[in-house]
Amino acid sequence: MTDLTGKIAVVTGGTGVLGSNVAMGLLQAGAKVMVIGSRDETVAAALEKLSPYGEVKGLACNMLDPKASVTARDKVMAEWGRIDILVNAAGGNVPGATVMDDQSIFDDMKLEDLHRVIDLNLWATIYPCLIFGKVMAEQKSGSIINVSSMAAYDSLTRVMGYSIAKEGVNALTKWLAQEMAIKYSEKIRVNAIAPGFFIGNQNRKALLNDDGTYTERSHKVINKTPMRRFGDITELNGMVNFLCSDEASFITGTIIPIDGGFSAFSGV
């Protein structure tokens, strides 16, 4: 197992399924973790879940509020004095920004929800990269992991806003990687993971029928996944921990699929 003993990690969106799982993996590797969620009650629930795995603390913060994010960063610094790892797991989709097969993008897409999903996935990644990343620039070391998606590889039906936002995350990752390395330190690395399809709270209704069988959309996903299965959320942790470690010292600016081969397969 990758050893992250002594590393200080911040996980935004750390109360969600993906974020809390990544936080658990970091704790198991020996890191101290600050999980950041949007509400006090979800932070408390995450801390109860994660506490058995290591030293973890939590903060409630709206990552779309730069001033609140600065306050959160300052609290981490007051607690531990440095930030070695930033995982930007805040994000998700918004129902009103989804266009189903029987809907019209012109009549049924809610523009306010389209803005919301782009904000949640792109701006809630940009702000912490700049605010927490400034600490890394000053200390001349650190690893930032952003969360992309298969929606940034292919134009998946239904999720236009989510796809646009995740394409932006990819561009941000590449741009910030070169900016950090050239201007601040080659020991600051910025990468992204692009998860394939995992059944979670947000997509459960799209992928599973009420009786637990696969929906038509699930069968399409499985047919384009060479491993012929959905991923387990814990299968993200090995790559995240590796990218956060000194073992990945020459890796920056990459977007790495963790997808069972989905992005490599044409379906033919």
Q: Which residues are catalytic?
A: 162
- Could you tell me which of 93, 92, 91, 77 has the C-alpha nearest to residue 10? 77
- Could you tell me which of 33, 87, 37 has the C-alpha nearest to residue 59? 37
Token pair 């033919």 in the structure block, residue: 268
Backbone torsions φ then ψ of 142, nearest 5 degrees: 150, 165
**CA 196 to each of CA 34, 89, 177: distance values in angstroms, whole numbers, following the listed order:** 26, 15, 23
Distance CA 27, CA 21 (A): 10
Distance CA 164, CA 91 (A): 13
User: Number of helices (H) and strands (E), helices first, in the chain?
Assistant: 10, 7
Q: List all residues 6 or more positions away from 8 whose beta carbon is below 8 Å from its beta carbon.
A: 31, 32, 34, 76, 80, 81, 82, 83, 84, 85
Chain-centroid distance of CA 212 in Å reads 27
Residue ranges of the alpha helices (H) in 160-264?
160-183, 204-207, 216-223, 237-244
